[in-house]
Structure 1
């Protein structure tokens, strides 16, 4: 009875972890940014207030102009429900810096491309690992094989570690490699009152939850495999 409960919860938490991963890495709200500035118009040299919103993930980067009030609820609806029909999107790997960089040197650009490529490989390895883990668990159920349960649990934990590395590399990319301060300085040339507000979005918040469920599922399956092995002697 206890063994079946462990298998059930292991599979349940594993499925939850995979679901959270699919939603987190498949959506484009890892980084949210708002640019606000009074920019000079070249024709009549007047100042015009401009607000640009950005949201981006691993695969897509989008931006659009608009105006919102200070109400938190309307802000939430604006980000996720009432976006401008003129929204522009591009593949994230085509512009490997956070936000849209108007100018960058080739060395920094190449470094950012290599960095994004590295974490993309880790993400792909994590996806393959969690698929293999699921395959082992499915094969272990009919035969009650402790080897397959242990292998599946080990692969689930490995997938969690790989996804953890992806999240850590993303944080380093935003906090250290993005160089948002220079981006703001560059923007202030045309917009003296320019300011940038950047924060992590809900897609980013879902990833650690998926990591927790995946690692916890792997630990349960390792425990199930050990229990089967002890009772088989």
Structure 2
């Protein structure tokens, strides 16, 4: 009876782990960002650097009040324009209410927000290597949880303690690799200086009043939940395998 209960919860946790990990892997909302530039925030200088006097009428184009929105995941980094006056600006970063003019490019080997224009060749290559390790760890974690689920499905009809242990070990491996993925991503955004260097470059070369806002998206939030269920399922499957080995063989 206890073994059946353990198998039920192990299978439930394993299924939840697979769902959350695949959602995290397959959706491109690990990072949400918005950037804007106000070349003349106080309105004292008009187009062409001409000072504005009282009574002058200045016609501005729509780009001066615009904002660029980004969302990024494992596969793609997408950007599109918006207006700062919109009350539902943040909603445009999610799955609905996005314009058809959204531009997407591969992200798995392109570290955001580093680019060749903002870094020298050595730093850019280091960023590529860092992002490559992040991508490899992500792929290993996803492959391990899928293979672990396959082993558990094969173990159920035969009550094979070896397959249960192998499946549990793969779930634990997946959880550990994905934990490294989450930690590396937090270090990339919060600890390393890539974001600060990007902002400094934009303010120096393009716009003194450049503003960048970063936040984590749903894909990032799914990962820790999947990791928790993955580790829990792995431990339970190892326990089930050991119990079957001791009491039934």
The two structures have a TM-score, normalised by structure 2, of 0.83
Question: Which residue of structure 1 lines up, in the alignment, with residue 104 of structure 2?
Answer: 89
Q: Could you tell me how far 1:226 is from its partner in structure 2? A: 2.1
> 2:31, 2:73 within 8 Å by CA — same for their partners in 1?
yes
- Paired residues, number: 231
- Of the three residues 203, 207, 210, the one matched with 2:223 is 207
1:51-200 → structure 2 map (5 Å cutoff): 51-69=67-85, 71=87, 74-80=88-94, 81-93=96-108, 95-98=110-113, 102-177=117-192, 179-189=194-204, 190-200=206-216
User: Deviations for 1:176-212, whole angstroms, at most 9, x for unmatched residues?
Assistant: 3452122222222332322111111111010000000
Q: Tell me which structure has the larger Cα radius of gyration.
A: 2
CA displacement 1:86-133 (0-9 Å, x = unmatched)? 211111145323276743211111111111111222222222222221
Structure 1 gap segments, 5+ residues each = none
Task: Work out the CA distance in 2 between the residues paired with 1:130 and 1:160.
Answer: 8
User: Which runs of no fewer than 5 residues in structure 2 stay unpaired?
Assistant: 41-45, 51-59
Q: How far does residue 59 in structure 1 lie from its aligned partner after superposition? A: 1.3
Counterpart of 1:29 in structure 2 is 29
2:47 and 2:74 mapped to 1: Cα distance? 38
Runs of 4+ in 1 over 6 A off after TM superposition: none
- C-alpha distance in structure 1 between counterparts of 2:110 and 2:171, whole Å: 32
Instruction: Please report the TM-score for the alignment, with normalisation by the length of structure 1.
Output: 0.89
